[in-house]
Amino acid sequence: MSIKLTAYSHGAGCGCKLSPATLREILSDAETRSFGSLLVGNEESDDAAVYQLNEDTSIISTTDFFMPIVDDPGDFGAIAATNALSDVYAMGGSPMMAIAILGWPIDKLSPEVAREVLNGARRVCHEVGIPLAGGHSIDSPEPIFGLAVTGQVRTADLKRNNSAREGDLLYLSKPLGIGLVTTAQKKGHATDEDLRIARESMLRVNELGAALSTLPYVHALTDVTGFGLAGHLIEVAKGSACTAEVSEELIPRFDFVPKYLELGMSPGGTHRNWDSYRQEVKLPGGSDHRLIADPQTSGGLLIAVDPGHQGAFEQSTAIAGYHLSPFGRMVSQQDQALTVLAH
């Protein structure tokens, strides 16, 4: 009998994340600035913590885990691993090792299924050249899996999410729509072809981030996950004392997005996201917020690039297999952190 892991969880992937507003409330007392060697902590709302070891090298530490986003156990483990590794790449770093985080409903799902999840994660770790070196497991009501990852970066090459500059062009390395299609899957509306496309995207490792670390004209870098494009753009804009201005029609999206929007397949995380940051977004009348608030699992890198180096950037990323075009730019700070321009 085949296992359908998504039937055992109330949420899916990064759509399980707490809303930005709830997270801000929880972290309101989280002060880390007194630790001088901690270059990035809670205050920055960045992808990972960064600790400077010496003048040349810093250590990156992150953790990410969630409930099943797909039905296949091996794919679930592989996507969770790819998603967790992304936090290191989004800081411009390279992973060194990972340990697993496993919550398993042992009365509902066998240990053999959990082993498949771990094997999927181990395969991805081995592909990027690191060990899955250990972990921790508990008996839990729903299946949960992810990784804690340790990485390193040359301190001078560290990329942050709060260092964009006015005039920077905005790029996204993967299209949007993962939350829509995975919700459609849970409700029995997703096609096999759409799920295949989404699976391939979620399994594409964001190793590009490590290559971008050496490019001085890449001013800011983050990945787009559970808060949706709008949530992560707002973090970049507010941290950089700018406003992000994007063209609605140029935002990268999968071809299946209109179909699932029409069917109302937005996950609950979309609405939690929008309720948390709608006041920070200037949206043209008649525009739909559901795409920019759609939670992404193992989403793409959001990149702010000096416009004077547009050609060099697009050429270098094309060589790496990414054919990217800007969908917006950073402008002077306005009342809202994000402005969406109509067609």
> Has residue 14 got a pLDDT over 50?
no
Q: 124 and 95 in contact (C-beta within 8 Å)?
A: no
Of 14, 16, 125, 242, the active-site residue reads: 14
262-287 per-position pLDDT tens digit:
999 999 899 999 999 999 999 988 78
Q: Determine whether 14 is an active site residue.
A: yes
Q: How far apart are CA 30 and CA 124, in angstroms?
A: 33
Mean pLDDT, residues 305-331 taken together: 97
Question: 298 phi and psi, to 5 degrees?
Answer: 50, 50
In b/e form, how buried is each residue of 202-230, taking b as 16+ CB within 10 angstroms? bbbbbbbbbebbebeebbbbbbbbbbbbb
> Residue 124 is encoded by which pair of tokens?
């991805």
> Has residue 31 got a pLDDT over 80?
no
How are beta strands 242-247 and 338-341 bridged, if at all?
parallel
Burial class (CB in 10 A: 0-12, 13-18, 19+), 109: middle
> Has residue 110 got a pLDDT over 50?
yes
- Helices (H) then strands (E): counts for the chain: 10, 13
This prediction has a pTM of 0.92
167-213 per-position pLDDT tens digit:
999 999 999 999 999 999 989 999 999 999 999 999 999 999 999 99
Beta bridge partners of 282: 339
